[in-house]
Amino acid sequence: MSRALQKYLDQVMLYANRKEKEAVKIRAELEDHLRQKTADLAAQGLPREDAVFQAIEDHGTARTVGYSLRKGFVLLDVRTEGTARGFIAIGPRAVGIIAFGNVAVGLFAFGNFAFGVLAFGVLAIAGLVSLGGISLAPLGAAVGLAAVGRTAFGMIACGGLAIGLRVPWAIDGVSFLSGENGLQFLQHFRTYEGTVALIAITLWLFLIFPIMNGIMCSLKKDEYRRIEKADPKLIE
């Protein structure tokens, strides 16, 4: 079998990241399939090496095929493309108990677009706690530049208990700081509710998200290093 095909299989199994016994079986099945595909193409008149490259191209990129061979839901799933799925899921898109990605869906979701029970992101939608530029938590607490929730803290806040520079409405008719004056907003932090809001915003900006972001980025870098160590050409 050609070196090109063996190299392709090496790369596929690198992305698949399966246990050794499982990897051996999967690789053998892939090799049988590609051998048959190559033989069929050769029978149609293609030179042997051309048939190999055509079979590989038709099968898909090593990264796409490899990720498709991963288990459906694992303890830790880190991907450089596509949707990661696992207890901890990290990738461009992520679905898991703890999800970190551009689009993240999970119990704890961190991303530009985050959806979960606890969500942290530019656009965050959550059932319980939502922190982000645009923050929506209909049943819980929302903190953000624009916040909507049963308890909302933000520059623009709407909720049962809403604290902000501007409160367009209050769902339960209870709201604070309806004025537009910035000094009034700062003075409100002297109250108990204002202190809670300040702590929540501070934790979001300087503690909670940076720490989680650092942990998730570290795990993602470890995945890149694992791939680069095995085959530097795969990381560009």
Please choose, from the candidates 195, 165, 160, 197, the residue with its C-alpha nearest in 3D space to the C-alpha of residue 178.
165
pLDDT reported for residue 170? 46
Distance set, CA 108 to CA 114, 217, 223 (Å): 9, 16, 21
pLDDT tens digits for range 9-24: 998 998 998 888 899 9
User: Percentage of the chain surpassing pLDDT 70?
Assistant: 76
- How confident is the model at residue 236, as a pLDDT? 53
Residue 2 has what pLDDT?
A: 77
From 118-122, 181-185, 201-205, the region with the lowest mean pLDDT: 181-185
Chain CA centroid to CA 14, Å: 21
Tens of pLDDT, residues 115-126: 999 898 889 999
pTM over 0.85, yes/no: no
Burial of 90 (0-12, 13-18, 19+ CB in 10 A): buried
Query: In whole numbers, what is the pLDDT of the chain averaged over residues?
Result: 80
| pLDDT 10s digits, 115-172 | 999 898 889 999 888 888 888 888 888 888 788 877 777 766 766 666 665 555 444 4
SS3 78: strand
Whole-angstrom Cα distance, residue 78 to residue 216? 9
pLDDT at 52 over 50: yes
Residue 173 has pLDDT above 80, yes or no: no
The predicted model gives 179-202 an average pLDDT of 57
* pLDDT of amino acid 234: 64
pLDDT confidence of 202, banded at 50, 70, 90? Answer: low
The DSSP secondary structure of 185-225, one letter per residue, reads: HHHHTTSHHHHHHHHHHHHIIIIIHHHHHHHHHHHHHHHHH
- The type of residue at 189 is F
Structure confidence at residue 192 (pLDDT):
66
pLDDT of residue 167: 53
